């Protein structure tokens, strides 16, 4: 999302910046105090000053040092940005809902600057519409219309660079196919004029011409087969490499990037878009140079044989080209929308399949079927409209091109009758004309194919061009001892809306920390930061005195153990799921980890033992069994840092007892962060941290917090009362 719009020279001249002043944010103000749309109105924020420009004139200047509590307010029909300026609530800007998110980010940026810090607030959110042309952006970082063909060309160059030798080889085959195709009509002309129409035709010459034509035809077949084979092979190779690159990029991308996109959309980009590239290589690229070369040579030969007839045959060509150019953008837009609707249907299908247990549990099969039918019908409607358009557009082009052949037959036949042209020349000319319009007809299909590959490359490049990737294999590699320090750490899933704010916490190696608080207070967010799934917007998170952002991801996560409330098991065997923490672990090490997790006995009772298939997400096992496999996985990793997020929340008493025993073995000597709603399970923690209102409000042992009679005491009392009511 853009937070710094370009100012015109006239508007920039209204602002006088000092040497140490820098513009941080610049947003349009598109509504005035009377709710009328405005022009040449901007809110400009530098590192020291806020400038308000209205109707092309500087209206207000405020020093950021005098401001505090900047907020973005949503009202009916408009939003307001306010600040507390010298104790007075001041409205800085009014704006439409399209700018609501931007102003929320800038409000946070002003608050950061007012606190004395100088960090920029950044947004990774996509723009819903293009700020230049106003068109909707179909789920990519850049507007397809405004990015232009230069970006497409640069993307193609970057992707094709590793395969230049293969492209050159295919190009040579294309040229050979072109030459053999163009030589054949010349042999036909020689056969007719110089052999068959002679008073005494030579059988030897006739057979030589026929033999040459046969060899040329066989050569065309051979070259085309070789060309198609190598193009298909190259297309499959490029498609495979791009799938691998996309998957690797998605694996390395931060979780915030993945969460902002629909699963079906990402699946389509990895599978369908790479398939489009393969199909383009197989069906279009292998003929691209051939068609272009033959087309140019065809025109030259036709002009050399009979310039007048050539010019007459070219009459329909400009109309065909003009028609293609006129509808080019429309075709691109139509099929881009088709891809977007396909994403909607795929994402809905992915959600329903993933949540099928919930759908069936609530008996919502019919509503979900109706919802999918809605997406499917919308996709069908767009696809049908596009195909109907193409069914009308393509025959129109074919009719125009067919007119060129009729022109040649009429005027060429007349020239033969008048003696201005030989029969062989007419046959040669008609063959070249047929080739010309045959390949021109092929070119009319190209806009649709180019639209498909341009759309796919835009969507693929949107992932490959994402550069906010945490370090993988380039950071600090160290053995983790377990000291953790949060220093003024602030984080929000949208940076303008903090979930945690100003967190200060020092944890010693081997210490067991319990994290409690009301639902939504930020407990899971705290451990998400510790796991490196997200990075703090402000402040620092240190592990053993090193900023977690500078640690090598692979090294750090190999020393991290995680047991979550909703345990995820992969569709595989029990052995594969336990070994996920350490793929190189021996069978004996896996069994030892399972024994520690109290999982070995129930595994041995399954039909296949450790080779038992657990099913989709492990649903062939009970909740307690899945939790113990997750604990075995964590034990096998032998972590220095251990995170337990509601590890026993949904278990029965017997399963909870077994899991708690396993956890007590696992946590010995390890720095542990444990979240639990049953506060009684956290009594053994060295310290308890109570989070409320986005901040740590209490820290101490179980006894200390009870004595303090604060929020922890209230939560514990409420739980005990609920338990007595159940027992009563």
The CATH number linked to 344 is 1.20.1560.10
Same domain, 192 and 204: yes
134 in any annotated domain: no
Same domain, 269 and 253: yes
Report the pLDDT value the prediction gives residue 100, as an integer from 0 to 100.
Answer: 83
Give the span between the Cα atoms of 538 and 153, in whole angstroms.
39
DSSP conformation class of 13: T
* 6 contacts: CB under 8 Å, gap ≥ 6: 26
290 in any annotated domain: yes
1 in any annotated domain: no
Going by DSSP bridges, is the β-strand pair 23-28/538-543 parallel, antiparallel, or unpaired? unpaired
| High-pLDDT (> 70) share of the chain, % | 88
Report the pLDDT value the prediction gives residue 43, as an integer from 0 to 100.
Answer: 92
Report the pLDDT value the prediction gives residue 148, as an integer from 0 to 100.
Answer: 55
Report the pLDDT value the prediction gives residue 506, as an integer from 0 to 100.
Answer: 92
Report the pLDDT value the prediction gives residue 152, as an integer from 0 to 100.
Answer: 67
DSSP conformation class of 585: -
119 in any annotated domain: no
Tokens found for residue 580: 């996920």
Give the span between the Cα atoms of 109 and 118, in whole angstroms.
9
Report the pLDDT value the prediction gives residue 132, as an integer from 0 to 100.
Answer: 66
Sign of CA dihedral 53, 58, 59, 61: positive
Tokens found for residue 666: 């696992």
* Secondary structure of residue 301 in the 3-state scheme: helix
pLDDT digits (tens, 9 = 90+) for 620-652: 787 778 888 888 888 888 888 888 887 666 556
Cβ–Cβ < 8 Å for 345, 379: yes
Measured in degrees and rounded to the nearest 5, phi and psi for residue 313 equal -70, -20
Going by DSSP bridges, is the β-strand pair 78-85/88-95 parallel, antiparallel, or unpaired? antiparallel
Mean of the per-residue pLDDT values of the chain: 81
pTM: 0.67
Report the pLDDT value the prediction gives residue 52, as an integer from 0 to 100.
Answer: 92
Given 414, 440, 464, which residue is the final one in a domain?
464
Going by DSSP bridges, is the β-strand pair 671-675/512-516 parallel, antiparallel, or unpaired? parallel
Task: Give the residue among 33, 22, 92, 42 at the shortest CA–CA distance from 62.
Answer: 92
Q: Angle at CA 617, nearest 5°, toward 613 and 623?
A: 90
pLDDT digits (tens, 9 = 90+) for 661-687: 777 777 788 898 988 777 777 878 889
Query: Which stretch of 187-191, 412-416, 529-533 has the lowest confidence by average pLDDT?
Result: 187-191
Mean pLDDT of the 528-550 span = 86
Whether pLDDT at 196 is above 70: no
pLDDT digits (tens, 9 = 90+) for 29-54: 988 888 888 888 999 999 899 999 99
Query: Which stretch of 157-161, 192-196, 210-214, 675-679 has the lowest confidence by average pLDDT?
Result: 192-196
CA dihedral 336, 341, 342, 343 (to 10 degrees): 90
Same domain, 57 and 163: no
Task: Name which residue leads in pLDDT, 530 or 313.
Answer: 530
Task: Name which residue leads in pLDDT, 182 or 616.
Answer: 182
pLDDT digits (tens, 9 = 90+) for 334-361: 777 777 787 778 777 777 776 776 777 6
Going by DSSP bridges, is the β-strand pair 512-516/687-692 parallel, antiparallel, or unpaired? parallel
Report the pLDDT value the prediction gives residue 495, as an integer from 0 to 100.
Answer: 66
Report the pLDDT value the prediction gives residue 137, as an integer from 0 to 100.
Answer: 60
| High-pLDDT (> 90) share of the chain, % | 8
Within 13 Å of residue 286, how many CA atoms lie on the same side as its CB? 20
Mean pLDDT of the 400-415 span = 74
Q: Angle at CA 362, nearest 5°, toward 359 and 366?
A: 60
Same domain, 314 and 403: yes
Same domain, 401 and 484: no
Give the span between the Cα atoms of 594 and 588, in whole angstroms.
10
363 in any annotated domain: yes
Same domain, 399 and 494: no
Give the span between the Cα atoms of 122 and 229, in whole angstroms.
48
CA distances from 53 to 7, 39, 132, 279, 408 (A): 11, 10, 20, 53, 67
Q: Which range scores top for mean pLDDT: 251-255, 413-417, 615-619, 709-713?
A: 709-713
Whether pLDDT at 312 is above 60: yes
Report the pLDDT value the prediction gives residue 82, as an integer from 0 to 100.
Answer: 92
Q: What CATH code is carried by the domain that includes residue 58? A: 2.30.29.30
Tokens found for residue 511: 């210490």
Task: Name which residue leads in pLDDT, 439 or 694.
Answer: 694
- The length of the chain in residues reads 728
Domain extent at residue 570: 566-638
Other beta carbons within 10 Å of 464: 17
Query: Which stretch of 245-254, 345-354, 514-523, 687-696 has the lowest confidence by average pLDDT?
Result: 345-354
Give the span between the Cα atoms of 184 and 220, in whole angstroms.
10
692 in any annotated domain: yes
Give the span between the Cα atoms of 447 and 325, in whole angstroms.
9
Same domain, 436 and 547: no
Task: Name which residue leads in pLDDT, 117 or 680.
Answer: 117
Same domain, 538 and 570: no
Task: Name which residue leads in pLDDT, 135 or 707.
Answer: 707
Kindly indicate the confidence band of residue 83, based on its pLDDT and cuts at 50, 70 and 90. very high
Same domain, 421 and 274: yes
Cβ–Cβ < 8 Å for 627, 567: yes
Quote the radius of gyration of the chain (alpha carbons, Å): 35
Kindly indicate the confidence band of residue 72, based on its pLDDT and cuts at 50, 70 and 90. confident
Tokens found for residue 7: 């100012």
Q: What is the DSSP string of 561-584?
A: EEEESS----SSBHHHHHTTS-TT
Cβ–Cβ < 8 Å for 110, 83: yes
* 703 contacts: CB under 8 Å, gap ≥ 6: none
Given 638, 656, 673, which residue is the final one in a domain?
638
Same domain, 435 and 548: no
Same domain, 27 and 157: no
Query: Which stretch of 86-95, 147-156, 201-210, 525-534 has the lowest confidence by average pLDDT?
Result: 147-156
138 in any annotated domain: no
722 in any annotated domain: yes
* 699 contacts: CB under 8 Å, gap ≥ 6: 505, 687, 688, 689, 690
Task: Name which residue leads in pLDDT, 589 or 267.
Answer: 589
Whether pLDDT at 403 is above 80: no
Same domain, 577 and 540: no
Report the pLDDT value the prediction gives residue 519, as an integer from 0 to 100.
Answer: 81
Query: Which stretch of 146-160, 277-291, 412-426, 617-631 has the lowest confidence by average pLDDT?
Result: 146-160
Query: Which stretch of 31-40, 261-270, 542-551 has the lowest confidence by average pLDDT?
Result: 261-270
Given 638, 667, 685, which residue is the final one in a domain?
638
Whether pLDDT at 149 is above 60: no
Q: What CATH code is carried by the domain that includes residue 609? A: 3.40.50.300
Report the pLDDT value the prediction gives residue 26, as an integer from 0 to 100.
Answer: 92
* 611 contacts: CB under 8 Å, gap ≥ 6: 573, 574, 575
Tokens found for residue 22: 């820098």
Tokens found for residue 279: 């199909």
Mean pLDDT of the 276-297 span = 79
Cβ–Cβ < 8 Å for 256, 143: no
Report the pLDDT value the prediction gives residue 145, as an integer from 0 to 100.
Answer: 62
Strand spans (E) along 618-676: 641-645, 671-675
* Secondary structure of residue 34 in the 3-state scheme: coil
The structural domain count of the chain equals 4
Task: Give the residue among 85, 11, 2 at the shortest CA–CA distance from 44.
Answer: 11
Query: Which stretch of 37-51, 259-273, 285-299, 648-662 has the lowest confidence by average pLDDT?
Result: 648-662
* 388 contacts: CB under 8 Å, gap ≥ 6: none
Going by DSSP bridges, is the β-strand pair 42-46/23-28 parallel, antiparallel, or unpaired? antiparallel
* 629 contacts: CB under 8 Å, gap ≥ 6: 567, 569, 574, 577, 578, 594, 597, 599, 614, 618, 621
């Amino acid at each position: 999302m853009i937070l710094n719009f370009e100012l015109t020279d006239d508007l920039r001249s209204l602002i006088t910046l000092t040497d140490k002043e820098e513009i941080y944010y610049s947003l349009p103000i598109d509504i005035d105090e009377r709710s009328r749309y405005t022009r040449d109105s901007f809110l400009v924020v530098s590192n020291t000053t806020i400038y308000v420009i209205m109707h092309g004139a500087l209206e207000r200047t405020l020093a950021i040092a005098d401001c505090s509590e900047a907020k973005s307010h949503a009202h009916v029909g408009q939003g307001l940005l306010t600040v507390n300026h010298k104790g007075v609530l001041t409205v800085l800007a009014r704006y439409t809902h399209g700018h609501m998110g931007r102003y929320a980010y800038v409000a946070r940026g002003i608050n950061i600057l007012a606190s004395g810090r100088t960090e920029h607030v950044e947004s990774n959110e996509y723009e819903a519409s293009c700020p230049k042309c106003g068109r909707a952006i179909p789920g990519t970082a850049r507007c397809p219309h405004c990015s232009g063909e230069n970006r497409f060309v640069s993307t193609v160059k970057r992707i094709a660079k590793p395969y230049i030798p293969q492209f050159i080889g295919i190009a040579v085959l294309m040229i050979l196919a072109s030459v053999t195709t163009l030589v054949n009509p010349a042999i036909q002309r020689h056969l007719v004029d110089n052999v068959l129409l002679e008073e005494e035709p030579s059988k030897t010459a006739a057979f030589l011409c026929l033999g040459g034509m046969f060899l040329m035809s066989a050569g065309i077949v051979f070259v085309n087969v070789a060309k198609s084979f190598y193009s298909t092979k190259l297309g499959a190779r490029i498609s495979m490499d791009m799938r691998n690159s996309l998957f690797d990029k998605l694996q390395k991308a931060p979780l915030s990037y993945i969460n902002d996109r629909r699963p079906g959309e990402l699946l389509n980009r990895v599978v369908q878009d790479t398939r489009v590239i393969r199909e383009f290589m197989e069906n279009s690229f292998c003929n691209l140079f051939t068609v272009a070369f033959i087309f140019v040579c065809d025109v030259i030969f036709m002009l050399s044989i009979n310039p007048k007839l050539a010019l007459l045959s070219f009459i329909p060509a400009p109309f065909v080209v003009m028609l293609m150019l006129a509808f080019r953008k429309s075709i691109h837009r139509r099929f881009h929308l088709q891809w977007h609707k396909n994403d909607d249907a795929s994402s809905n299908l992915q959600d329903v399949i993933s949540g099928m247990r919930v759908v069936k549990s609530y008996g919502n099969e019919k509503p979900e079927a109706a919802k999918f039918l809605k997406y499917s019908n919308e996709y069908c409607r767009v696809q049908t409209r596009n195909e109907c358009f193409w069914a009308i557009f393509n025959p129109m082009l074919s009719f125009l091109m067919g007119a060129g052949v009729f022109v040649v037959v009429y005027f060429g036949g007349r020239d033969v009758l008048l003696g201005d042209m030989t029969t062989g020349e007419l046959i040669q000319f008609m063959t070249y004309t047929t080739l010309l319009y045959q390949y021109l007809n092929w070119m009319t299909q190209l806009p649709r194919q180019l639209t498909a590959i341009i759309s796919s490359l835009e969507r693929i490049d949107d992932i490959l061009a994402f550069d906010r990737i945490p370090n993988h294999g380039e950071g600090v590699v160290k053995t983790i001892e377990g000291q953790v320090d949060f220093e003024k750490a602030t984080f929000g899933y949208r940076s303008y809306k903090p979930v945690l704010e100003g967190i200060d916490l020092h944890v010693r190696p081997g210490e067991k920390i319990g994290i409690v608080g009301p639902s939504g207070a930020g407990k899971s967010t705290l451990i998400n930061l510790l796991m490196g799934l997200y990075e703090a917007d402000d402040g620092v998170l240190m592990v053993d005195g090193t900023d977690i952002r500078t640690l090598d991801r692979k090294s750090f996560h190999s020393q991290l153990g995680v047991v979550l409330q909703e345990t995820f098991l992969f569709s595989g065997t029990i052995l594969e799921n336990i070994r996920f923490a350490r793929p190189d672990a021996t069978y004996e090490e896996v069994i030892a980890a399972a024994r520690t997790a109290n999982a070995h006995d129930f595994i041995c009772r399954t039909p296949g033992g450790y080779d038992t298939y657990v099913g989709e997400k492990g649903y062939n096992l009970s909740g307690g069994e899945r939790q113990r496999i997750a604990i075995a996985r964590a034990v096998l990793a032998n972590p220095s840092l251990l995170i337990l997020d509601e590890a026993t929340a949904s278990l029965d008493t017997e399963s909870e007892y077994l899991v708690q025993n396993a956890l007590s073995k696992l946590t010995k000597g390890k720095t542990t962060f444990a979240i639990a709603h049953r506060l009684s399970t956290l009594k053994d923690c060295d310290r308890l941290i109570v989070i409320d209102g986005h901040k740590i409000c209490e820290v101490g042992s179980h006894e200390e917090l009870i004595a303090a009679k604060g929020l922890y005491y209230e939560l514990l009392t409420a739980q005990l009362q609920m338990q007595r009511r159940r027992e009563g």
